Amino acid sequence: MIDVRDVPELNDPIVIAAFEGWNDAGESATQAVEHLVRVWDAEVMAVMDPEDYYDFQVNRPRVSMVDGRRQLTWPTTRVFLARDTPLGRDVILVLGIEPSIRWRSYVAEILSLAVDHEVTLLITLGALLADVPHSRPIPVSVTSEDPDLREAHDVERSTYEGPSGIVGVLMDQARQSELPGLSVWAAVPHYAGGPPSPKATLALVSRLEELLGCVIDEGDLTEESRAWEHGVDELASSDEEVAEYVESLEEAQDTADLPEASGDAIAREFEKYLRRRGGHEAG
């Protein structure tokens, strides 16, 4: 790490991390962490040295004008600390770019920071392109390799096999280091996968609310999600083939979701909602 700030002893901290690149369809995951940085007034506590991990011909530095002067910004990974959170505990937010080289060293740096601050939980956010309709709730899956977390949150182990991104490598190394972790992924409609994707970002934030048992300020995400959906509606309606394809996706998802639309399932979800809101008001 470079530019490491002095940090006092933290209160039962957790880490929430997201990375630009292969793991970040529609930039949904990184925008979710950026949202948390904003609403929780998080401050930078460390910056990773980009020289060690990035190919600058792939991730080039950017020039911008700040107060009339040219400023060069290097691609890197920043670590933020949020102390005023609705969890009643500190949160370390990792916002990075998937590295070009030395993945194991990169992950080791992040986990070393977690160990130094006695982190007890790692949550990674990701997003992938999928055959899902934009007009329905964005599917969000949660998996864990930790049996206690699986039982506590009623989630499964991941059954994915294939190429992995930095999120998968980080979670694997965390497991080997016996740091419990949850992997949270949003499914972004592939025909509307260009950034931004505020509806997927909002879905990730909402799932975090459930996992953490707190209420997170949604800011402008709800309004931005409606505007995004309306824009995709107009795009789809302008092309008959796309409109038919979206309709087929809607029918498929509605059929798949039908068994869950029972009275008991709805009651369970409503009870979870009341518990989260009630806890927030009581605090």
- Rounded to the nearest 5°, which phi and psi values hold at 142? -130, 130
Contacts for 38 with CB less than 8 Å, ≥ 6 apart: 219
Q: Which two tokens stand for residue 182?
A: 């949850």
Cα gap 246→240, rounded to integer Å:
10
- The widest CA-to-CA distance across the chain, in whole angstroms, is 61
- Write the single-letter amino acid at 94: V
Whether the CB-CB separation of 245 and 191 falls below 8 Å is answered with yes
Per-residue pLDDT for 145 more than 50?
yes
Cis status of the peptide bond prior to 61, with omega within 30 of 0: no
SS3 track for the chain: CECCCCCCCCCCCEEEEEEECCCEHHHHHHHHHHHHHHHCCCEEEEECCHHHCCCCCCCCCEEEEECCEEEEECCCCEEEEECCCCCCCCEEEEEEECCCCCHHHHHHHHHHHHHHCCCCCEEEEEEEEECCCCCCCCCEEEECCCHHHHHHHCCECCCCCCCCCHHHHHHHHHHHCCCCEEEEEEEEEHHHCCCCCHHHHHHHHHHHHHHHCCCCCCCCHHHHHHHHHHHHHHHHHCCHHHHHHHHHHHHHHHHHHHHHCCHHHHHHHHHHHHHHHHHHHHC
Whether the CB-CB separation of 195 and 188 falls below 8 Å is answered with no
More confident: 253 or 152: 152
**Considering the chain, what is the average pLDDT of its residues?**
90
Whether the CB-CB separation of 198 and 224 falls below 8 Å is answered with yes
Q: What is the pLDDT of residues 50-103, one digit of tens each?
A: 999 999 999 999 999 988 899 999 999 999 999 989 999 999 999 999 999 999
Q: What is the pLDDT of residues 173-194, one digit of tens each?
A: 999 999 999 999 999 999 999 9
More confident: 263 or 92: 92
Cα gap 124→147, rounded to integer Å:
17
Whether the CB-CB separation of 117 and 10 falls below 8 Å is answered with yes
Rounded to the nearest angstrom, the gap between the alpha carbon of residue 256 and the centroid of all alpha carbons in its chain is 25
Q: How confident is the model at residue 6 (pLDDT cuts 50, 70, 90)?
A: confident
pLDDT at residue 211, as a whole number:
96
pLDDT at residue 197, as a whole number:
97
Q: What is the pLDDT of residues 8-19, one digit of tens each?
A: 899 999 999 999
Whether the CB-CB separation of 242 and 236 falls below 8 Å is answered with yes
